[in-house]
Structure formats: structure tokens, C-alpha cells
Structure 1
Amino acid sequence: MENCTLYTHEIDMGKVVARMRAHFGESAVNITGQDNNWERITIISGKKLLRKGSTLSITYRQRSVPGYTLMHSEEPIIANLLGMYAFVQQLPADNPALKDLLLAKITTINTEVVILAEPSFNGDFRAAVMEMAHELDGIFFCENNFIFKTEVQGFWDKSGALLLDVNGHSTATNLVVNIQSGYFDSPAEASDEAATRRDRSIQQLNEMSVKTSANLPVIADESTVVIRSAAEIATRTAILSAVNTVAFGYLDGPAVTTYLQQHNLWDSTTDAEKAFLQDPQEELKTKETWKCEDIWVLLWALNKVPALGYMNDLCNLDMVPEEAFPFRGPASDPAVFLAGATQLRSAAEILDANDLYYRAHWACVDARIKGEKEPIHPGIVYERHYALNWLINYRDQPWDEVTCDT
């Protein structure tokens, strides 16, 4: 048996029934359920178009509430999509603009279609699946792609072009991200506070010669935002600071693991951080070194550093006073830092920074998609946006699953 999975923003699965009947004929297609609310489609062998003994079975699952964004949820398909998004985020990419489009596409997915072929995808089955992909404007994700006869793990578009594999390679050059207007919530009127903050950010960026869009949505305001607590921020800072030393090669994974366990920080260490400490591969080390920018933002939120600084200037954690930094080696004790980290910046200050970096991040992505040079340092902007989104509980996402939508 061979299988493949197709992901689409479409929710009208009646289109699949119509497409299969058009391809194979009415009598070859068995439906469990109603045409517009079916549970399974089975293509029966023995018809002249099919090799004898072959069957095609199609099932699907959907979000309970269709949408175009991803929020943390226990719903299985949402959990799967969040995992997929996080997986793509950490992949290298020969074409970063295409990777950004793939990430945007993942957030719009509403339906996961699973297709099984027995004993295999013959030419006609493959043709029918590709027709379905076009009908649904879908993308494929497979560990072993039986449709395209390759063992490469990655993503393919509806034409069969490779969007991104685990090594960062692509053959596609573009990906259209469609969102049906019916999925959008009725736009809420921007509060005066949020609109003023947006306008102020745009002015700041214009003064820096950074072009952004006035059409981007506003972010939360003080009446709706829930800033994470000082204790939670301090704990996250302490963990990041310890893990970061492994990224830079100052300590090894077991030493930091022991430290985190001894100081009751292990339970708050994320699964991704634990995996990194267990096997800190060089590629992951490089990615993890960027977390100093996240540490810098969290220290700023705790009033331990006076300002975030310029978007083109890497932070310098050596400038942080010793008493204001949680980790100074395995012999240090984070208790003093954790006990003293009680003063948070105001929600208005944190929202101001979040709005500014959100719009700056959009400018970087827009420039990259257009093949232009980013107007500011994209790595610094991304990491600070990531930490700021976590601070404001953006979509209630835990640390490993924070998204930086633009």
C-alpha cells in the first residue's frame, strides 16, 4: 500500500466527489455518507480505466472552525499544523522567500486529505490525485512521496514542483497563497489606542527609511492584551540564558541539563530545548545562538536593560550587569535573579515594541519576496518579534510554537 497527504484551505469536499466521478465514472466511485458530507471515497477496481486489483481510498479531517490563521488548540488537525509550521520554520532554505510563502500557506490550511492506493499509485491514480490537488489548490507533504516517486521528505505544490525539502532545496519558484473571503471574521473596528500605535510605528519606520504597509491589521490594545507574568518571563529568561551557553560552545548539554534540574527549572524547559541539550548538532547550535536577541527582549521587559536598541545592532549581553543576569556558569544560582525580577514594563511599552517589530518584520519579508535587500537586519527583527509575540500571549502559543505572522 502507498499513501500521500494533501493539504488545502478548501472546506467544500463535495468537489472531491465530483472530481473523482468525472475522472473514473459514476459507477467506479463508492461514497460512504452524503456527497457534501462524506466519510470515505473508495474507487472500485475492475473498470476499464483501472488496473485490476487496484483501489483508491480517500478520507479527510477538517478544522472545526475554518480559518486562515493558526491558534494553539488541542484539536488534532490544528496541533498537526502547528507542528508542521514549527518544522518548516527550522528548515534551511535556498529560497527564503518561497519558505515564507509556504509558512503563510500552512496557516491557511483547513483540510487534510489522506489518500491510500492499493497496491500502489499507478499512472491513472496519480493523474486523479493531481487533478484533485489542482481542484483544491493543495500542497503535498510526505516523508516518502509515492506520488512523485521519491524518498525525499518535503513539500510539493499542486503541479509536482518541490517547495522545500529537509535540506532546504526547492525546484518551485513561487507559491500562491489563497484565502477565501468567507473565512475572515468580520473586521472589528480598530480602537483609537491601536490605531494611534500603528500610525506611530509607521512614522518611526518611515524615519528609518523602512517601508511598511498601512493596510496591516492593528495588534491588541491594553484592554485585550494579557502580558505574561514577571515570574514566567524571569523563568523563561533563566532557561534561555543557560541553554544559550551550549549554543556558543561554552558548556556541554549534560552540564546545563544538570544545572536546570538542580535549580527546579527543568519542568519549565521546553521539549525542543531538552532535545537540543541532548543532541546539540552544529546546525541547531547556529540557530540557537540567535536566542540572545530573545533573552535581550525579555530582560528589557523585566527592566533589566534600558532599551532594545537599533534594529541593525546585535545585542550585547555582556553589557547586562551581573546581578541582572540569571546565568553566570554552573556554579551560579538563579534564585536571586528570579526573586528580584518583579518589575515589568507597562503593557503600553511592550505593545509599542511589538507593533513596531511586527511592521518591521513585514518589511523584511516583503523585501525578500520581491528579491530586494532587507532594509534592516532580518535575523534581529525576527527574534525580537518572536519574543515580543510570546510576551503578549499572541494566540496563546507556548514558547516552541510562537508564530511571527506578517
Structure 2
Amino acid sequence: MNYFTIFASKNNIDDIEVKISDVFAKGFAIDKNDNEYVIKSKALFKKYNLIIRVMSEDTNPDYFANNIPGMMGYYDNIPFEDDNLKELVLTQISVLNTVIAIEAEKEINEEQIQLFTRLLSSIGGIGFLPEGTLLDDEGIVIVYPDGQSGPSDFRPQACTRKVRGQEVSSEEGEQRKNKTIAYLKEKAIPYTASLPQLPTIEVCQFKTKEDIARRAVALLIVIQFACDVAQGGNVEESRDFFINMLRTYKVEDYLTSNERDFLHTSEPNGQEAINISWQYEAYWTLIWALGFVEKLDFPDEVCDCEYAIQVVSNCETFEQFYLQTTLRSQEEILDEADKIYRYHWACVDSRIQEPPAPAGMNESIIMERRRGLFWMIGHRNEEWDTISMDT
């Protein structure tokens, strides 16, 4: 084992340099270049070097966009012997925004593990070993790769930046928030008044009807390819067919970079295919906004995938599809975004507190609907693949 990785949820990474210096103060020389540190032992015998790379969502957004969903999927597929522990681990992963990656020249020894554990304890978060074992901030095993529970009494940790999001305040936002809370009360769904308002209509950067329509068609097509991959279909035939569909509808430019890579890679990843397939729920919000779906039902059952396909497949061209669209008002879309935001908080809170999701809600449905709605309102101007899921 030559790698040890620390994942954490932090408001910023300003203090990490000091923590690294403290842990390696005796017996080491430290050379720093931006957020990379070369640690050189001063021992007469058994000298060694370490490389420590520090990344955050701010400094390396692509890393988190590409790796955190995969990490979530990896542990979601592990057969945990304790389902509650699995939910706690997934909760922790969902709020990670900092990584300290340690690379050793040779096999890591016990002395080095103790140093890395000291760094883990000072930073907080979880330790990740290459074979999949997770450690808590004291270096105690949370879970083994086969799903067996470790002795750790693990509880997730999240920084205020991930928990509270960016604070905004307006009369419009307060009215929308209060309307959603009144609805949640009627449904007996937990809520917190401290969850921030969403931005006002004026502040939001709403996507145009054409952008939403083209994104919807492109997304549906790549979802169909992902479904073929997940079901073990002929990848080459499927790829050729769906690339041709993208060109027929003239929506190739509306794929995300991740989707384009997935579509063109020679051996598409099965877990990524499953993750993209779940985006039927995000697509559902797009065709709702375009007037094809009467209302967004309560998020306890998956959408009607057959109907979702027919909305586009009944049209031979994008222009034919576009002529059938009627964009909902910005207020309607923002109201639904606020509702899904507070649904999501209730689901995350229930995972931490241990009971099942309130009112039978499905958090996977909620997360994908949130992706679609937050993208449409232009929340924080985030890209489709990097919509933050903080609550």
C-alpha cells in the first residue's frame, strides 16, 4: 500500500499547511509548491519521501465532480452488515469537499501510518485505504471493504459551508420559504427554519426555453445509452445509434463533458451508467418545466420512464419537439426548487437521526430532481455535473 487519503468537510483549507507542518515538524524537511508538499525524512537510514496533495472543491472542482459520485456509488454497492452505518457513510461522503492525498515511494509502514493518523485527527474527516477500508478521525476502522463494520462509533461531520450553503435574504425568498414550510407541516415532514432562502427571481440566472429543451433531448438520449450499458447491451451498436440520434436532433453540444466522455469511452463504466440512468428524474423536471408533465408528484416513486421517452420519440426532429413546449413561469420553477431543497434536508436529517426517510421519500429521486431544478434556475451558476447537494 503506497497511498493514504484523507477526505474532509471544511469551510476552507487555509489551516492545513500548519497541520502538515506540525505533524512532520521533527525529522522531516518540507518543500511546498502551491498545494503540493514534498516531505523528506532526515533519518540516516531508511530515508524516504512523501508527496502530499491538498485539493478542495474551490481549487479542483473537476476532481470532486468526477470522483465523489463514484465514491458514493462504490460504498452504496457494498453489502454493509449494518444498514444504518451505510447511511451514515453515504451522508459523510455527500458533504466531502476537501482531500489530502498522501503518496509514498514504497510500501507504507506502521510508523508512517501513525503520522498519517495524527494528520487525520488534526484535520478531521475520514481516512481511505486503497482496498476500500474507511477510518474515522481517530484512525479506527468504520467499515471494511466487504461491508463488515469496524469498532468505530462513527458519526458524520460537515462544515457550515456544506450544511448551510450561501446565506441570502429577501422578502421574496422569505415568502417562498415560508410557503414551502407550511406545505411541509401539512405533510408532517420535518424541516429546519435555519435552512437558507434560495435567491430571488431577479438574482437567479434562469435557462432559456431552448436551452432546457435541447438539454432535455440530449440527456434523454445519453440516458438510453447508459441503460443499454447497464443492461449489458452491445456497446458499439448502441453508441453508434445514439450518436446518430444526437446528430439527428442537433443536440450534441448540449451533452456535459462527463456525458461526452462516457459516450465515447471504449469501455463505459457500469456504475457510471447506473448513475446516469437515475437522471431520468432530473430529465423529468425538465419536461415538467416544458409543459409535458402536469405536476411534479411527491418523490416517493420513480417517474414514468415510458412516457418520458415518448415525449421525444414521438417527434422526428428537435423543431417538432420544441413547437410542443410551453415553458412554465420562473416563479413556478423556483417554488419547486425551494420545495426539493427542503425535502432534501429532511432526507439527510433522517439519515443522521437514523429513522427512515419521512413520508416514504426516495432521496435518490430528490437528488436528481434537485439537479434539474437547480440547473434551470442557475443556482450559483453551477454546471449540470457539479450541482452541489449541500443541505
Do they fold alike, i.e. is TM over 0.5?
yes
Contact 1:156/1:164 (8 A) holds in 2: yes
Q: Residue 174 in 1 paired to residue 154 in 2?
A: yes
Aligned partners of 1:202, 1:38: CA distance in 2, in Å? 45
Contact 1:61/1:113 (8 A) holds in 2: yes
Aligned partners of 1:165, 1:219: CA distance in 2, in Å? 39
Aligned partners of 1:185, 1:301: CA distance in 2, in Å? 25
Aligned partners of 1:32, 1:240: CA distance in 2, in Å? 46
The SS at the match of 2:50 is strand
Residue 256 of structure 1 is matched in structure 2 by 242
Cα separation, partners in 2 of 1:123 and 1:177, compared to 1, 3 Å? same
Contact 2:120/2:139 (8 A) holds in 1: no
Residue 113 of structure 2 is matched in structure 1 by 126
Residue 366 of structure 2 is matched in structure 1 by 381
Bigger CA drift: 365-374 or 200-209?
365-374
Aligned partners of 2:296, 2:69: CA distance in 1, in Å? 26
- Cα deviation for residue 229 of structure 1 reads 1.4
Residue 83 of structure 2 is matched in structure 1 by none
Q: Residue 337 in 1 paired to residue 302 in 2?
A: no
1:139-166: per-residue Cα shift (whole Å, max 9, x none)? 3345xx3xxxxxx157543334556788
- Within the candidate set 185, 188, 198, 1:209 is matched to 188
Residue 18 of structure 1 is matched in structure 2 by 22
- Cα deviation for residue 344 of structure 1 reads 2.2
Contact 2:6/2:128 (8 A) holds in 1: yes
Aligned partners of 2:220, 2:32: CA distance in 1, in Å? 55
Aligned partners of 1:130, 1:53: CA distance in 2, in Å? 21
Aligned partners of 1:170, 1:6: CA distance in 2, in Å? 19
Residue 149 of structure 1 is matched in structure 2 by none
Cα separation, partners in 2 of 1:154 and 1:197, compared to 1, 3 Å? farther
Contact 2:164/2:390 (8 A) holds in 1: no
Q: Which runs of 5+ in 1 are unaligned?
A: 47-51, 64-69, 146-151
Whichever structure has more helix as a proportion of its residues is 2
Aligned partners of 2:291, 2:106: CA distance in 1, in Å? 63
Contact 1:5/1:140 (8 A) holds in 2: yes
The SS at the match of 1:140 is strand
- Cα deviation for residue 38 of structure 1 reads 9.8
Aligned partners of 1:18, 1:61: CA distance in 2, in Å? 16
TM-score by length of 2: 0.79
The SS at the match of 1:30 is strand
Q: Residue 291 in 1 paired to residue 243 in 2?
A: no
Bigger CA drift: 167-176 or 257-266?
167-176
1:154-202: per-residue Cα shift (whole Å, max 9, x none)? 7543334556788877645624415379x999955x2011111111101
Residue 353 of structure 1 is matched in structure 2 by 336
Q: Residue 136 in 1 paired to residue 123 in 2?
A: yes
- Cα deviation for residue 299 of structure 1 reads 1.1
User: Which structure 2 residues correspond to residues 298-313 of structure 1 after superposition, within 5 A?
Assistant: 298-313=286-301
Contact 1:91/1:167 (8 A) holds in 2: no
- Cα deviation for residue 58 of structure 1 reads 4.7
Q: Residue 233 in 1 paired to residue 212 in 2?
A: yes
Cα separation, partners in 2 of 1:405 and 1:207, compared to 1, 3 Å? same
- Cα deviation for residue 371 of structure 1 reads 1.9
State percent identity of aligned pairs.
22
Residue 87 of structure 1 is matched in structure 2 by 70
- Cα deviation for residue 256 of structure 1 reads 1.8
Amino acid corresponding to residue 381 of structure 1 in structure 2 = I
- Cα deviation for residue 103 of structure 1 reads 1.7
Contact 1:140/1:158 (8 A) holds in 2: yes
- Cα deviation for residue 33 of structure 1 reads 7.0
- Cα deviation for residue 386 of structure 1 reads 1.9
Larger radius of gyration: 1
Cα separation, partners in 2 of 1:123 and 1:357, compared to 1, 3 Å? same
Aligned partners of 2:3, 2:270: CA distance in 1, in Å? 34
Residue 42 of structure 2 is matched in structure 1 by 44
- Cα deviation for residue 123 of structure 1 reads 2.2
The SS at the match of 2:6 is strand
Q: Which runs of 5+ in 2 are unaligned?
A: 81-85
Amino acid corresponding to residue 394 of structure 1 in structure 2 = H
Q: Residue 53 in 1 paired to residue 46 in 2?
A: yes
1:233-253: per-residue Cα shift (whole Å, max 9, x none)? 101111222334442779944
Give aligned pairs, total. 365
Cα separation, partners in 2 of 1:162 and 1:260, compared to 1, 3 Å? farther
The SS at the match of 1:390 is helix
Aligned partners of 1:245, 1:114: CA distance in 2, in Å? 36
TM-score by length of 1: 0.76
Cα separation, partners in 2 of 1:205 and 1:130, compared to 1, 3 Å? same
Contact 1:326/1:338 (8 A) holds in 2: no
Bigger CA drift: 196-205 or 245-254?
245-254
Residue 29 of structure 2 is matched in structure 1 by 30
1:59-100: per-residue Cα shift (whole Å, max 9, x none)? 44455xxxxxx4xx6x4x333233332323433524133212
User: Which structure 2 residues correspond to residues 244-283 of structure 1 after superposition, within 5 A?
Assistant: 244-246=223-225, 247=227, 252-274=238-260, 275=262
Cα separation, partners in 2 of 1:62 and 1:96, compared to 1, 3 Å? closer
